[in-house]
Amino acid sequence: MLSNYRYSGFTLPPGTYKIGLKGGNLAQGRYVFVDVVSFPAVGPPADTTPPEIILHNECPGRTTVQTASSSDICLFSSNETVEFSCSFGPWPNESAVFEPCSAPGEPQFGYFSFDVSQSEGKKLELRVRAVDSAGNVSEKQMIWTVDTIFPTIAITSGPEEGSVVNTNSVSFGWEANDNQEVRDVQCHLEVVGTREIIRVDGAALDDPYCGGTIYTGESRNPAKFSNLADGEYTFWVSAVDKAGQGVFARRTFTVDTAP
């Protein structure tokens, strides 16, 4: 009768083996055949995880954004060794052609330089592809509209530069324009010599907006300021477009209500 028997005298390498047992009353060299077993070679599990593509601040953006640069460079990296390739052109790009864009000697980094000086107002696409040693593929797409033209801002009414007014309430009119979109207009008074900021009437201390597409309140044009103490003030107004390009205008005046 056979009973369970565990033999732990050595470790078998991968391969196929015939297992037999020798009984106590069998002739020399005679064995009882039990089974044929195989021990396949066991390796690490297959790599099926796509590499990660990390875009750095120099890139136009992960979604539809604007860029203020006529020529620029996009830097990116991965969490593992990869081969980077890039495709660049007008959006939509139905026949993207990818070219190598890995950084020489830096197996986890890549870069792509581009010139959009002739693409004002056009929508462009940059696609970055990464392939790791196991053949796993990742891809990121950036789409943006080129904007290299700054907005304009002008003060259209209010106390003149260097003037003295005998009232404690003033208002300034302004006009902001951009070839694409004025994202926001901010304005305030600054008390000369103290850097104290006075917001437009009705605005909270943390609300600098006076207009623009991201401002949804009641019109703050003209910008009105009331209950001003006698002293010297500077009115500041700035405009920023969707690309983050900004301009400003200012006027300094004096309030003197003394008889």
Better-scored residue on pLDDT, 72 or 167: 167
Domain span including residue 244: 152-255
Segment 102-128, tens digit of pLDDT = 999 999 999 998 887 788 888 888 999
Tell whether 140 and 174 lie within a shared domain: no
Q: Does pTM surpass 0.85? A: no
Question: Which class for 177: exposed (0-12), middle (13-18), buried (19 or more C-beta within 10 A)?
Answer: exposed
Q: How far apart are CA 208 and CA 44, in angstroms?
A: 58
Tell whether 174 and 239 lie within a shared domain: yes
Question: Which CATH number goes with the domain that contains 106?
Answer: 2.60.40.10
Sheet holding 223-225, edge to edge: 152-157, 170-177, 223-225
Name the domain count of the chain. Answer: 2
User: What local confidence, expressed as pLDDT, does residue 171 receive?
Assistant: 98
Q: How confident is the model at residue 20 (pLDDT cuts 50, 70, 90)?
A: low
Residue 41 covered by a domain: no
Residues 6+ apart with CB under 8 A from 100: 83, 84, 85
Tell whether 180 and 238 lie within a shared domain: yes
